[in-house]
């Protein structure tokens, strides 16, 4: 388990996404194709998208020609994925108990999800479902706070986020637990949207989804005020929210 040290809080956040599934599908950023190419190469593979959510990473996997099977603990999130990709098999399950047969996939990937996995419990499951020579790939989109208004946004979120938006060392934990060698790749993507869509995307974060309705509205109201008043966003009808994309390929030894 990574992130917050309170197990109850961690579990509540991990399972919160079903309540915001439709907004998550519409308002979260996708992943750049070069990140997937780094993780999996160019040859079509059978890939488990673990913690697949609404299918944002599945989009890129399918477009690259891979055969995808999706697993996520949230039925509402998987409903969104099935609507996007009706041909992709989708199963309710988690990293610690993967509902697939032994040796059934060439790769396991996770987008914006591995920090919710328990490395010690999940690593044996990943090895079990992988075929010989298989790989594990983790990828995260992280706001690029070199841009001043994005830095201000990050500062406004920091107290509530408490580290739930990056790898937080989980890659190193999996590298030890598998064990595996790690290679890294840096990329970038930009999400374009209205200020209200930026606010809505923040509303899909676990730390916001688990707030009371009153607290949630007050918190998001503060984000609206920030975007309305910051010199980098004031009066903007369409904002460009830049992300750094960090990809990690783990090759089990």
CB proximity list for 212: less than 8 A, separation 6 or greater: none
Mean pLDDT of the chain: 92
At 168, which CATH number?
Answer: 3.40.50.150
Tokens of 121: 């419990």
pLDDT over 80 at 7, yes or no: no
Residue 233 falls inside a structural domain: no
Residue 234 lies in a domain: no
Q: Which two tokens stand for residue 94?
A: 């988690």
Quick one: pLDDT at residue 161? 76
Residue 248 placed within a domain? yes
Q: What is the pLDDT of residue 18?
A: 57
Q: What is the number of residues in the chain?
A: 253
Q: Is the pLDDT of residue 165 over 90?
A: no
For residue 156, tell me if it sits in a domain.
no
Range of the domain at 133: 7-143+163-190+243-252
Which pLDDT score, from 0 to 100, does residue 159 have? 80
> What pLDDT shows up at residue 73?
96
Is 2's pLDDT higher than 50? no
Residue 146, C-beta contacts closer than 8 angstroms, at least 6 positions apart: none
86 domain residue, yes or no: yes
pLDDT digits (tens, 9 = 90+) for 103-113: 999 999 999 99
Mean pLDDT of 92-112: 98
Does 231 reside within a domain?
A: no
Whether 128 maps to a domain, the answer reads: yes
The distance of Cα 104 from the centroid of its chain, to the nearest Å, equals 23
**110 lies in some domain:** yes
Domain count, the chain: 1
């Amino acid at each position: 388990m990574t992130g917050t040290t309170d197990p109850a809080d961690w579990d509540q956040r991990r399972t919160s996404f079903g309540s915001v599934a439709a907004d998550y599908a519409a308002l979260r950023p996708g992943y750049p194709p070069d990140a997937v190419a780094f993780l999996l190469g160019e040859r079509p593979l059978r890939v488990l998208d673990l913690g697949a959510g609404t299918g944002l990473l599945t989009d890129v996997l399918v477009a690259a020609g891979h055969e995808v099977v999706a697993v996520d603990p949230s039925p509402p999130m998987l409903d969104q994925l099935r609507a996007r990709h009706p041909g992709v098999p989708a199963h309710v399950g988690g990293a610690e108990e993967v509902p697939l047969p032994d040796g059934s996939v060439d790769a396991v990937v996770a987008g914006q999800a591995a920090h919710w996995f328990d490395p010690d419990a999940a690593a044996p499951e990943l090895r079990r479902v992988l075929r010989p020579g298989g790989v594990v790939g983790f990828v995260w989109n992280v706001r690029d706070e070199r841009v001043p208004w994005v830095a201000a946004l990050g500062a406004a979120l920091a107290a509530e986020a408490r580290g739930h938006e990056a790898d937080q060392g989980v890659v190193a934990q999996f590298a030890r637990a598998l064990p595996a060698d790690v290679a890294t790749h840096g990329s970038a993507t930009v999400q374009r949207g209205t200020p209200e869509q930026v606010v809505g995307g923040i509303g899909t974060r676990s730390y916001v989804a688990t707030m009371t309705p009153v607290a949630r509205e007050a918190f998001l109201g503060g984000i609206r005020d920030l975007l309305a008043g910051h010199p980098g966003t004031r009066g903007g009808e369409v904002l460009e929210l830049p992300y750094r994309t960090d990809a990690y390929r783990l090759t089990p030894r």
